[in-house]
C-alpha cells in the first residue's frame, strides 16, 4: 500500500474542489441548454485531467499504484455510466427543463461525492479491523451482479426511495420550478420545487450505486487515497457526460450484462484475496494488471455486441437494470394505504 503524505492529500483535495468549482461556474453562471460540442469538450477535458493525474501517480508512487489507480478509475467510470441511465429516467420522470438540468446534476453529484467519502472511510476502517471484510465485499458484488442480470430489462422506481418520500413529507411540492430554486414560497407557505426532489433522487440513487462501486474499487486497491481519487475523478465531468451520451445510452443493450461480469470478476478477486491472506498462501490471487485487461476487454466486447444487436434489432432499447423487481401498481396502492 502506498504512503501518501498530508501535503499530497491536501493538494489533491484542493485540485478536486477546484475542478468541481469550475464545473459549478460553467453550470450555474448562465443556465442554458448543453449542446453536443460543449458536452464533448468538457467530457474530454475531465477525462484528460483524470489520465494526467494517473501519470502523476505513476511518476511519484510507482507502476503498481499507477495500475491500481487506472483500474479503479475505469471501473468507477464504467459503473457511473449506469448511473447516467437512472439520471435520464429521473430527468424524464420529473420533466426537468433543459435550463435547470445542469444545476441539478452538479449539486446531486457533489452530494454523492461527500457521501462516497464517508463510505470510503467506513470501508477502509472495516478492512483494517476485520479480515473477512474482503469476503463480505466479494459476496455483495456477486449478489449485485446476479440481481442486475435477473432484472436487466427493468427500470428502478425513482419514487420508491426513502429520502425522496421523506422530502415529500417535509415540504409540499410545487408544480412550478420558481426560476430554478429548490425552495420557494407559495401562498404564504414554504414549498419544495421539483428540483429539490430531483436533487434528492439523484444524490440518494448514486449512494445506492456507491454501495457496489466502493467495494468494487477496494477489490482493486486497498489504498484509501487511490479509492478516493478514482471515485472523485470518475464523478468529475459526469454532468457533461450526461448530455454527451444521453441519446446513446439506449443503444448499449448489453451494458448491464457487461457491468455484471465486471462485478463478478472483482467479487471473485476479493474472495481469492481473503482466502490467500487468511486460509492459505497457496491459493492464487488475480493480479491487478490482469484485472485491468479483463475489464477493458469486457467493456469493448459489451459495446461492440450492443451496437451489433441494435443494428440488427433497432427496436430494442437498453434499460439500466434494477437490484429488485419494481413494485406493481397494486403493491404501490397497498403501501400508500
The residue with greater pLDDT, 95 or 228, is 228
**Can you read off the three cell numbers belonging to residue 204?**
440518494
331 inside domain: no
334 inside domain: no
69 inside domain: yes
The pLDDT tens digits of the residues spanning 1-49 come to 678 888 999 999 999 999 988 887 776 666 666 777 888 888 899 999 9
337 inside domain: no
Domains of the chain: total:
1
Distance CA 15, CA 21 (A): 10
Distance CA 192, CA 186 (A): 10
3-state secondary structure of 326: coil
Q: Which residue's entry shows cell 464545473?
A: 23
158 inside domain: yes
Asked if residues 117 and 212 have their Cβ atoms less than 8 Å apart, the reply is no
**Owning domain of residue 65:** 7-321
Asked if residues 152 and 256 have their Cβ atoms less than 8 Å apart, the reply is yes
228 inside domain: yes
DSSP 3-state percent helix, strand, coil across the chain (nearest 5): 75, 5, 25
The pLDDT tens digits of the residues spanning 295-309 come to 889 989 998 998 898
1 inside domain: no
The residue with greater pLDDT, 248 or 306, is 306
Mean pLDDT of all residues belonging to the chain: 80
Residue 43 main-chain phi, psi, to 5 deg: -65, -45
Distance CA 87, CA 306 (A): 21
140 inside domain: yes
> Does the model's pTM come out above 0.95?
no
Q: Summarize the confidence of residues 130-149 as an average pLDDT.
A: 84
Distance CA 9, CA 133 (A): 25
Residue 322: pLDDT band (50, 70, 90) is low
Amino acid at each position: 500500500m502506498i504512503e501518501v503524505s498530508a501535503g499530497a492529500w491536501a493538494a489533491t483535495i484542493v485540485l478536486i474542489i477546484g475542478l468541481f468549482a469550475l464545473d459549478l461556474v460553467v453550470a450555474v453562471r448562465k443556465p442554458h441548454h448543453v449542446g453536443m460540442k460543449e458536452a464533448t469538450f468538457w467530457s474530454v477535458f475531465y477525462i484528460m485531467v483524470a489520465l494526467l493525474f494517473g501519470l502523476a501517480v505513476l511518476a511519484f508512487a510507482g507502476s503498481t499504484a499507477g495500475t491500481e489507480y487506472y483500474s479503479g478509475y475505469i471501473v468507477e467510470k464504467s459503473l457511473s455510466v449506469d448511473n447516467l441511465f437512472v439520471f435520464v429516467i429521473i430527468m424524464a420522470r420529473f420533466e426537468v427543463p433543459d435550463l435547470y438540468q445542469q444545476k441539478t446534476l452538479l449539486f446531486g453529484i457533489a452530494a454523492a461525492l461527500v457521501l462516497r467519502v464517508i463510505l470510503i472511510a467506513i470501508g477502509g476502517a472495516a478492512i483494517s479491523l476485520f479480515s473477512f471484510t474482503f469476503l463480505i465485499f466479494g459476496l455483495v458484488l456477486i449478489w449485485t451482479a446476479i440481481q442486475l442480470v435477473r432484472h436487466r430489462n427493468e427500470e428502478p422506481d425513482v419514487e420508491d426511495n426513502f429520502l425522496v418520500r421523506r422530502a415529500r413529507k417535509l415540504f409540499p411540492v410545487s408544480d412550478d420550478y420558481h426560476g430554478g430554486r429548490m425552495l420557494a414560497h407559495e401562498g404564504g407557505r414554504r414549498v419544495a420545487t421539483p428540483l429539490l426532489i430531483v436533487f434528492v433522487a439523484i444524490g440518494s440513487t448514486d449512494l445506492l450505486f456507491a454501495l457496489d462501486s466502493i467495494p468494487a474499487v477496494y477489490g482493486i486497491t486497498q489504498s484509501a487515497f487511490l479509492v478516493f481519487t478514482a471515485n472523485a475523478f470518475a464523478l468529475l465531468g459526469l454532468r457533461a457526460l450526461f448530455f454527451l451520451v444521453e441519446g446513446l445510452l439506449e443503444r448499449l443493450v448489453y451494458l448491464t450484462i457487461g457491468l455484471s461480469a465486471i462485478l463478478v470478476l472483482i467479487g471473485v478477486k476479493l474472495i481469492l484475496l481473503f482466502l490467500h491472506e487468511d486460509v492459505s498462501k497457496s491459493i492464487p490471487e488475480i493480479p491487478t494488471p490482469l484485472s485491468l485487461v479483463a475489464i477493458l476487454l469486457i467493456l469493448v466486447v459489451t459495446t461492440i455486441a450492443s451496437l451489433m444487436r441494435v443494428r440488427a434489432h433497432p427496436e430494442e432499447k437498453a434499460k439500466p437494470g434494477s437490484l429488485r423487481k419494481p413494485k406493481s401498481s397494486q403493491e404501490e396502492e397497498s403501501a400508500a394505504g
